[in-house]
Amino acid sequence: MGVEFIYPEFEVIRNEARCITCRVCERQCANEVHSFSEARGMMISDESKCVNCQRCVSLCPTRALKIVKSDCVLRENANWQNDTIREIYKQASSGGVLLSSMGNPKPLPVYWDKILINASQVTNPPIDPLREPMETRVYLGKKPEKIQRTADGNLNCDLPPQIELSMPVMFSAMSYGSISYNAHASLARAASTLGILYNTGEGGLHEDFYRYGSHTIVQVASGRFGVHEDYLEAGAAIEIKMGQGAKPGIGGHLPGAKIVGDVSRTRMIPEGTDAISPAPHHDIYSIEDLRQLVYSLKEATAYQKPVIVKVAAVHNIAAIASGIARSGADIIAIDGFRGGTGAAPTRIRDNVGIPIELALAAVDQRLRDEGIRNNISLVVGGSIRCASDVVKAIALGADACYIATAAVLALGCHLCRTCHTGKCNWGIATQQPDLVKRLNPDIGSERLINLMTAWRHEIMELMGGMGINSIEALRGNRLMLRGVGLNEKELEILGISHAGE
Amino acid sequence: MMIRANGLDPSVLNDAIRKSTEVCEIEGCCGQRFLAAGMAHKDITIHGIPGNALGAYLNGAKITVLGNAQDAVGDTMNEGKIVIHGNTGDAAGYAMRGGKIYVKGNAGYRAGIHMKAYKDKVPLMVIGGKAGSFLGEYQAGGVIIVLNLEKPQEKCVGFFPCTGMHGGKMFLRSACENVSFPAQVTACPAGAEDLKELRTHLEEYCQLFELDIEAVLSAPFTVVTPDSKNPYRQMYVAN
């Protein structure tokens, strides 16, 4: 314990009167916090290893455990906060780049919480979704600008390929490798039952999950892991990943320790080799190059699949989205700076990118101004936390939302933000067989279905309150939104009035 | 079956290839992109110059180009063979995971970038001339060979070969005294075992382009391999 010693972040509080030394906590903790002391005849703990994932707390049969944030901290300093000092110690001893997981935890503004939704009173009656029809189905893909007729005057009903969703929410990209087989199984099954889609991420598609292909988005990223003709054919849509909200401008790096067994085979790289996705696609340096990749994918799949281009929300997102809309892509996915990840450099996760609310409003407006909004559908992600976030996103101009953090929470994630260790005690962000089996896909998929079913009801309630019975009528309907506590510039970018106006 | 490509749109031309006999020829090809994308069970000979992304996601088909090819040949190719009787542009064999690309002449920038391999599926790219900069960048598997047959007195490869290489193998027909490699790879003269391996990789190539394999193998070769499968492990500290 030298100069850099700092008291562990969490304390393990064990109520000795309740503890029956059943050693469940010891067996459940992959971080090896708990152990049984023969000498003292009691459980002891090494809290320096604790990540506060709450696994032991949840499984302790006598509720003898709790994990609390330690109050043994350095002298208070509003500028040099404890986390900042802790990070300096870590870097001073290792020389390493700080690596974190999940979304940006910093107290930056959440615009969803400063936007309020309208409801009908007197002049336009609300609708009761329990008794009246309410449509939450959406179709993603290019829409024709005008009605076209064939030579004999009949309607030409040939549309570019579309994705049908029973509700405007999809599970966003998480690769097999960053999350477990059972997590993927849960997502795939839930998406199929719900009539929505999940996304393979850049890790290929395990052979067991090809049967869920019609509810799968297959991703093509810069490392092209697991990409081949059968994979492209298997999906309902193909997503080109240019960027990710948690780490805009940098690539992916799955450590060799997670490239084992099926993960290695699905990615087509040898076991133990790091899976490196370069920061750029080295064949894409322009919109024209992007167009080339979009069309090579369309050619390889005979123009049957919509192509999604996913980018992180960054400063010039409106101009970038306009370029993407002209690249031949069918759908743009924009990922805000709060999006989660299995691992990202802390500084990038916490400081790069912009909020999805502002990016979405700017992009939707730009595409409308340029008259190309119907050329492309808009999907947004990056911390969509609940049904009202979805409704606000749709009203700001999105066609659908991507969720991932909410989905893994449903699977049992306790947001301890240490996915990068690969020792997820909840069986989600790990490849250790003993941990993976803790997540039962039967229960996992059921919980995802429950969550989405509940959100769908809430979306219908909110729509009904506004007197809207079809999600299509809500899209881009910013009159349904009001800001609260926002300055004029923020309101201008969001394209909404202040509450009371 | 002969397909006349003059003025045809790439998708129309690809459709014609799909509908044609297994063995087919394309005449008058002039810049059409994405030819044979994702195709299997075809043996296609192209007269003229195919456009970018020739044989992207190729899944077993054989393509012979009697001329030069452009950028992104064999992008993410899975299986099959592409033979180019000329030069090829940038980013040939990007993320290739199987099959073979044989180039008679030179290759542009970033050839073989992010090539992969898994068990017996080992992609192979042989370049008869020189390769541009960033050859084998991020190479994660497979074999890249540069022969520099035409002008052996000149540098066989441009700047920054093997940047980020963490798998696979590269053979350069040169002592490589004038080539600088990054720190995380080892470049050494090919030994007897390496030459034996090289011979198996080069037999078909020499047959195709009517070269004397003994003469090709008679010059010194440098073999490049990565030192580690995890070159970046030390860079991070968990936070």
B110 vs A284: CA distance, rounded Å: 12
- Residues A72, A176, single domain; the answer is no
- Residues A69, A179, single domain; the answer is no
A13 vs A401: CA distance, rounded Å: 40
The vertex-A240 CA angle with B42 and A138, nearest 5°, equals: 110
- Residues A194, A267, single domain; the answer is yes
Task: Provide the angle, in degrees to the nearest 10, between the axes of the packed helices A317-325 and A287-300.
Answer: 40
Say if the Cβ atoms of B91 and A283 lie within 8 Å. Answer: yes
Chain B residues closer than 8 Å to A301 by CB: 38
Say if the Cβ atoms of A91 and B237 lie within 8 Å. Answer: yes
Instruction: Identify the residue among A292, A293, A420, A421 best suited for mutation to test binding to B, counting B beta carbons within 10 A and taking the highest.
Output: A292
A414 vs A53: CA distance, rounded Å: 6
Of A224, A295, A345, the CB nearest to B34: A295
Of B14, B97, B232, the CB nearest to A299: B14
DSSP β-bridge partners for residue B126: B102, B145
Say if the Cβ atoms of B33 and A276 lie within 8 Å. Answer: no
Residues with Cβ within 8 Å of A66's Cβ and at least 6 positions away in sequence, in order, are: A13, A57
pLDDT value, residue A445:
98
Chain B residues closer than 8 Å to A100 by CB: 239
- Residues A79, A209, single domain; the answer is no
A240 vs A217: CA distance, rounded Å: 10
How many Å separate Cα B1 from the centre of its chain?
28
Q: Which residue is closest to A343 within chain B, CA to CA?
A: B238
Per-10-residue mean pLDDT, chain A, length 501: 77 97 97 97 95 97 96 93 92 92 94 97 91 96 91 92 98 95 98 98 94 97 92 97 94 82 88 86 92 96 97 97 97 97 94 97 98 97 97 98 98 96 95 96 98 98 96 96 98 98 93
Instruction: Answer whether A269 touches B (CB < 8 Å).
Output: yes
Interface pTM, i.e. ipTM: 0.93
Global confidence as pTM? 0.95
Instruction: Identify the residue among B58, B97, B239 best suited for mutation to test binding to A, counting A beta carbons within 10 A and taking the highest.
Output: B239
Phi, psi (deg, nearest 5) at residue B114: 60, 35
CA distances from A364 to A112, A118, A321, A493 (A): 17, 20, 9, 11
CATH of the domain at A326: 3.20.20.70
Q: Is residue A110 a part of any domain in this protein? A: no
Tell me what the mean pLDDT of segment B32-48 comes to: 96
- Residues A304, A190, single domain; the answer is yes
Q: Which residue is closest to B227 within chain A, CA to CA?
A: A273
Phi, psi (deg, nearest 5) at residue B113: -65, 135
Instruction: Answer whether A90 touches B (CB < 8 Å).
Output: yes
Mark which of A67, A96, A125 sits at the end of a domain: A96
- Residues A82, A195, single domain; the answer is no
pLDDT value, residue A2:
67
Q: Burial-class residue B24 by CB neighbours within 10 Å (0-12, 13-18, 19+).
A: middle
- Residues A86, A122, single domain; the answer is no
pLDDT value, residue A4:
65
Instruction: Identify the residue among B17, B19, B57, B115 best suited for mutation to test binding to A, counting A beta carbons within 10 A and taking the highest.
Output: B57
Q: State the DSSP code for A171.
A: E
How many Å separate Cα A300 from the centre of its chain?
28
Residue range of the domain that includes A130: 115-146+167-476
Q: Is residue A206 a part of any domain in this protein? A: yes
A330 vs A208: CA distance, rounded Å: 28
- Residues A213, A89, single domain; the answer is no
Please count the residue pairs, one from chain A and one from chain B, whose beta carbons lie less than 8 angstroms apart: 149
DSSP β-bridge partners for residue B223: B171, B188
Which one, of B43, B40, B38, lies nearest residue B26 by Cα? B43
Chain A residues closer than 8 Å to B230 by CB: 255-256, 272-274
Q: State the DSSP code for A96.
A: P
Give the minimum alpha-carbon distance from A219 to chain B in angstroms, rounded to a whole number.
Answer: 13
- One-letter amino acid at A299 equals E
Which one, of A350, A377, A395, A400, lies nearest residue A191 by Cα? A400
B173 vs B152: CA distance, rounded Å: 8
Of A224, A420, A421, the CB nearest to B95: A224
A465 vs A457: CA distance, rounded Å: 12
Q: Are A465 and A480 in contact (CB under 8 A)?
A: no
Q: Are A240 and A303 in contact (CB under 8 A)?
A: no
Of B76, B118, B166, the CB nearest to A227: B76
CATH of the domain at A42: 3.30.70.20
How many Å separate Cα A495 from the centre of its chain?
25
- One-letter amino acid at A38 equals E
Q: Which residue is closest to A84 within chain B, CA to CA?
A: B239
- Residues A219, A257, single domain; the answer is yes
CATH of the domain at B160: 2.160.20.60
What kind and span of H or E run contains A14?
A: strand A10-14
pLDDT value, residue B232:
74
- Residues A135, A90, single domain; the answer is no
CA distances from A61 to A55, A57, A321, A452, B57 (A): 12, 9, 52, 30, 54
Phi, psi (deg, nearest 5) at residue B74: 65, 35
Say if the Cβ atoms of A97 and B237 lie within 8 Å. Answer: yes
- Residue that has been written with the tokens 């020829």 in this structure: B25
- Residues A59, A134, single domain; the answer is no
Chain A residues closer than 8 Å to B141 by CB: 269-270, 273
Tokens standing for residue B89 = 């542009």
A174 vs A411: CA distance, rounded Å: 13
Q: Burial-class residue A8 by CB neighbours within 10 Å (0-12, 13-18, 19+).
A: middle
A67 Rama sector, left if φ>0, alpha if ψ -120 to 50, beta otherwise: beta
Instruction: Give per-residue burial for A203-230: e unless 16+ CB within 10 Å, then b.
Output: bbbbeebeebbebbbbbbbbbbbbbbbe
Say if the Cβ atoms of A274 and B230 lie within 8 Å. Answer: yes
Tell me what the mean pLDDT of segment B124-132 comes to: 98
A141 vs A160: CA distance, rounded Å: 7
How many Å separate Cα B234 from the centre of its chain?
32
Three-class DSSP labels, A289-328: HHHHHHHHHHHHCCCCCCEEEEEECCCCHHHHHHHHHCCC
Chain B residues closer than 8 Å to A265 by CB: 118
Say if the Cβ atoms of B230 and A273 lie within 8 Å. Answer: yes
Query: Based on the structure, what is the number of domains in chain B?
Result: 1
Of B57, B94, B117, the CB nearest to A232: B57
CA distances from A53 to A57, A221, B112 (A): 9, 31, 43
Task: Provide the angle, in degrees to the nearest 10, between the axes of the packed helices A287-300 and B10-19.
Answer: 20
**pLDDT band for position B180 (cuts 50, 70, 90):** very high
DSSP β-bridge partners for residue A149: A155
Which one, of B37, B69, B59, B89, lies nearest residue A295 by Cα? B37
Residue range of the domain that includes B186: 2-235
Q: Are A168 and A394 in contact (CB under 8 A)?
A: yes
- Residues A460, A352, single domain; the answer is yes
Query: Based on the structure, what is the number of domains in chain A?
Result: 2
B150 vs B105: CA distance, rounded Å: 8
Q: Work out the number of other CB atoms within 10 angstroms of the CB of residue A78.
A: 5
Say if the Cβ atoms of B114 and A346 lie within 8 Å. Answer: no
Tokens standing for residue A97 = 């780049």
What kind and span of H or E run contains A254?
A: strand A252-254
Tokens standing for residue A399 = 């066609």
Say if the Cβ atoms of B116 and A299 lie within 8 Å. Answer: no
For the CA atoms of chain A, what is the radius of gyration? Answer: 24
